Structure 1
């Protein structure tokens, strides 16, 4: 009986993890679309995708959720400020610089 209860608990926990991971992926995808639009608008002429990836990778879970909401509610000043704040972080800047160098190597 005890083993069955433990097994059932592990299955329930795994289900929660799968649901949480799915929610995280959905939120990140929604946020990625919003960030990509902001980057493309603010920095025309650059490839927004690598910059967007750096922003998403350096955002907190709360920031991801906040930005993802803009996919439904629309982009506002708070959304732009959040993305701008993430863009100014040293790790984000480093990520963007590394991706830019990789992109430049493609032309060499």
Structure 2
């Protein structure tokens, strides 16, 4: 099933222009990251966490996360999100988003 989902995403992405491919992959990855954040990081602000993870993931990580959008998060996608969340750039992003959200209250 995962193989079929990966082929479907790759076929969709391959048919697009480079900028569109990136956006399709990022949008697909957002779905997987959303589910992982809800399950593993319930105290993080959801939209900020998704944005920070997507913005700080590598292209390969984005494609892997995007491939899991149809089948749901796997152990691999949970590991990818955990790795990205721990990066200093992601931590800074989350802190900035948290401060921005707190200031808006």
Please report the TM-score for the alignment, with normalisation by the length of structure 2. Answer: 0.80
Residues 1:75 and 2:77 are matched in the alignment? no
Distance 1:86 1:95 in 2: 11
* Divergent runs of 4+, >3 A: none
- Shift in Å, 1:100: 0.2
- Distance in 1 (CA, whole Å) between partners of 2:43 and 2:91 is 18
Q: Which has the higher helix share?
A: 1
Shift of residue 62, structure 1, vs aligned partner: 0.5
In structure 2, distance between residues paired with 1:33 and 1:100: 21
Larger Cα-atom Rg: 1
Name the residue aligned to 2:94: 96
* Alpha-carbon offset, residue 33 of structure 1: 1.2
| TM-score, normalisation: structure 1 | 0.78
Q: Root-mean-square deviation (CA), in Å?
A: 1.3
2:44 and 2:53 map into 1 onto residues whose CA distance is 15
- Unmatched runs of 5 consecutive residues or more in structure 1: 1-17
Q: Which moved more, 1:92-101 or 1:65-74?
A: 65-74
- Structure with bigger RCO (C-alpha 8 Å, 6+ apart): 2
In the alignment, structure 2 segments of 5+ residues that lack a partner are 1-15
